[in-house]
Amino acid sequence: MRKIFTFLVFSLITLISFSQVAPNKYWVKFTDKNDSPYSINNPGEFLSQRALDRRTAQGIAIYENDLPVNPAYVQGVSDEGAVILNTSKWFNSVTVYTTSSSVINAINALPYVLSVEKAGILNPSGTEGSVKPFFENETFNAIAEGDLLKSGTSGNSYNYGQAFNQIDMLNGIPLHDMGYDGAGMLIAVLDAGFLNVNSLTVFDSLWANDQILATRDFVDPLNPDIFNSHTHGCMVLSTMGGNLPGQLVGTAPKASYMLLRTEDGGSEYLVEELNWVSGAEFADSLGADVINSSLGYTTFDDPGQDHSYNDMDGNTTPITIGADIAASKGILVCNSAGNSGGGSWQYIGAPADGDSVFSIGAVDGNGNYASFSSTGPTADGRLKPNVVAQGQSSTVIDPYGGNVSSASGTSFSSPITAGMMACLWQANPEKNNVEIMEAVQESGSIAGNPTSQLGYGIPDYSLANSLLTVIDNKVKDDMNVLVYPNPFNDELFISIKEGSDKISSIELFDLTGKSIISQKVQGSLGNVIKLDGSEILDAGFYFLQVTINGKVVTQKVIKE
């Protein structure tokens, strides 16, 4: 299996290969972080207070890979004549630009340089170029003005207009109605560019309320211009942060955003994965809660850089390794599954294969699998995608005219999901990123029978919110209550361990809070009680409440 990471040796073959300069962007890896001016004991020098607070809330320590690249090493590479493009503390590396083979040879000879690898070319035009593999099945269509009148939703907190269905499908509107609309959450959007986001009316409220907290161009950091570079990120952002009442309202209209250009629309090279990792590090350092990445990588303009399906194992490609590191820092990483369904590739791309990445497939407006949506499993047999959302005929903004339009691709199901994840986390700030993802999976429409096309299915965010409010397992254990089997098919039993007080009642509620079964119990310690009527219940989620000596234990149970 060909690995992306190729450790170069100082040999004649290496020198000859660099003398034939074709790509002019290179990935320079360093040997160590020795003699760094930074210390893990003083993280405030390289992480914002918001980033530190996120780690503290989730019990995450500061590690050596949080330390910035040694600035002396970066300066040493620059002194050899290379232009520094981006740094990566997680990979302890820099990406550089040069057209000189002698510069590359000199860098390779530096004592603290581990390896130098060809990464890509400089795209001086900044144009969108030919259709890229990830975008190849995405479509864009205008919506007739009359159709905008078909979605009257003025009874909700937001008048969603044409975007109503893509949010209602996820049962996300009740969260908005409770005030969970993303306020206080920070979403980093890693994309190909954000054409006209600084001027379109749909984003007026983001600018007026200072919800755009940062912008950065990792593709062309020397000449940044993210608002004139590509249309894709504009459409993506509109599904989350858009706010045109009666026409289009996104899933997280009150969230704050970072707009980070990491994808080069004019070419496809490995360097874009490295851009992504640098962008994720930047997002981490400013304290992002959620990353949306409507990007994915499989094959490149240089076939020698191509990934294979075997590389989709969650541990091989640079971008997937970086995405999993981002998740380890407490960030919830949402990524499009890809648009290769039914094609020669078929499967998810990187970084959607990451075991800590929340990969999002696509369905149509009726909840049916969208044929273009990439499928699982990963090369090592794990289920992907995790969940799905509307990605066929999603409501987006037209980046040129500012009109409400429709577009298809997992590029849009992912941000629709990311915005709702931010709202759910806002409602449950004591939970960590993994707990939020697990609750959303458990709420999926086919959670009991997931598939490689739909994952756990279409999430129900109101249900996920209810699941997250259930008393923790530790509390249940402390009160010596065991409910089994769970999930159950017919009979459900409640065991009270030795040493517990008497049970006074058992009650089962549906998701609306309606009492389905109420059972008085005369049992005492050590008893096992069967829940009356459990075998005739409809399949679905329920909440079981057990009252012991005046104290109430609540546990979710699933009837299959």
Domain 136-466 CATH class label: alpha beta
Tens-place pLDDT, residues 497-534: 645 556 678 889 886 678 899 988 765 545 678 888 88
Ranked by mean pLDDT, the top range of 21-25, 132-136, 418-422, 438-442 is: 418-422
Please report, rounded to a whole number, the percentage of residues in the chain having pLDDT higher than 90.
72
Query: Which of 125-139, 277-291, 334-348, 478-492 shows the lowest per-residue confidence on average (mean pLDDT)?
Result: 125-139
Domain with CATH 2.60.40.3080 in the chain: 473-559
Q: In this predicted model, what pLDDT tens digit does every residue of 157-171 receive, in sequence order?
A: 899 999 999 999 999
The confidence score (pLDDT) of residue 130 equals 46
Which pLDDT does position 505 carry in this prediction? 83
Mean pLDDT of 376-401: 98
Q: Is 53 helix (H, G, I), strand (E, B) or coil?
A: helix
Confidence of residue 188 (pLDDT cuts 50, 70, 90): very high
Considering the chain, tell me which residue range(s) the CATH 3.30.70.80 domain(s) occupy.
Answer: 12-120
Q: Encoding tokens for residue 87? A: 């740094």
pTM of the model: 0.84
| Strands 290-293 and 186-191, sheet pairing | parallel
Q: What is the mean pLDDT of the chain?
A: 88
Higher pLDDT, 141 or 111: 111
Q: Is 258 helix (H, G, I), strand (E, B) or coil?
A: strand
Give the CATH H-level superfamily of domain 12-120. Peptidase S8 propeptide/proteinase inhibitor I9 (3.30.70.80)
CA distance 236 to 230: 11
Q: Which band of pLDDT confidence, cut at 50, 70 and 90, is reported for residue 6? A: very low
pLDDT, one tens digit per residue, over 478-497 is 456 788 888 888 889 887 76
Indicate whether 152 pLDDT > 50: no
pLDDT at 105: 97
Can you tell me the mean pLDDT for 133-151?
A: 57
**pLDDT grade, residue 407 (50/70/90)?**
very high
Give the pLDDT confidence score for residue 472 in this predicted structure.
Answer: 46
Q: Are 187 and 292 in contact (CB under 8 A)?
A: yes
Report the chain's terminal Cα–Cα distance, integer Å.
41
Which pair of structure tokens corresponds to residue 402? 């500012």
The span from the CA of 100 to the CA of 70, in Å, is 24
Quick check: helix, strand or coil at residue 213? strand
Tens-place pLDDT, residues 232-290: 999 999 999 999 999 999 999 999 999 999 999 989 999 999 999 999 999 999 999 99
| Range name among 39-43, 363-367, 384-388, 537-541 with the lowest pLDDT average | 537-541
Q: How far is CA 229 from the centre of its chain?
A: 23
Give the pLDDT score at 546: 84
Backbone angles phi, psi at 93, to 5 degrees: -155, 170
Residue 366 vs residue 550, higher pLDDT: 366
Please state which CATH number belongs to domain 473-559: 2.60.40.3080
